[in-house]
Amino acid sequence: MRQRPMQQLDEGFFSRDPLVCARELVGASFRWGACAGRVVETEAYAEHGDEACHTYHRPTAREFVAGEPAGTAYVYLNYGMYWLMNVLCKCPKSDKNGFVLLRALEPTEGIAKMQERRSREKLTELCSGPGKLSMALGIGREDHGRSLVASAQHGFFRPLETGLPAIDVLDDIRVGISAAQELPWRFLERDCPHVSVKYGKVKKS
């Protein structure tokens, strides 16, 4: 039996407030099959009181939160065009459940495959947005409900390597939403060229 790699983030990591998970994922590594990248941008969405979260409007999203364990992939089609990868967060000690959207990666492995899928050469154009990220990694409908913590067979996270400098994480407003626009629930690495929108440049609708 293939063993889980050392220091792979487990269910316990995602059994917390999605805002905490979203911030702490910045700097972590995300592997998907033969491709991998360093997480440089995330967004948090709360199950309760967040009009921008699917649980606010969709019963199926609420059922997903109730029925699935922390660390499960929540993948949905955005604007009928792009699959977006989210991770379910469930805090057993409170009702602070929700999702973390992976908004951007700095590509580190499988770059040639990402370039082929995206029909782009520049590294900063491969995963600098949630739709681009899913396209580059080959994430789709079939990955909805996949565990990102149960094994290392396909997708999983690893924390920032020990000994590396701490990541300077900034808080900003979320991108491309029409409700709850004022919440500073986007987390991004300072001065990183791989993020989808630079700090302070999000335009409210």
Examine the pLDDT at 41 and tell me if it is beyond 50.
yes
- Model pTM greater than 0.85? yes
Mean pLDDT over 41-65 rounds to: 97
Query: For position 5, what pLDDT does the model report?
Result: 44
Handedness of CA 15, 61, 137, 106 (dihedral sign): negative
- Residue range 83-118, pLDDT digits in tens: 999 999 999 888 899 999 999 999 999 999 999 999
Pick 18-189's CATH classification: 3.40.190.10, 3.10.300.10, 2.40.50.140, 3.40.50.2020.
3.10.300.10
Exposure b/e, 63-98, CB count within 10 A at least 16 = b:
ebbeeeebbbbbbbeeeeebbbbbbbbbbeeeebbb
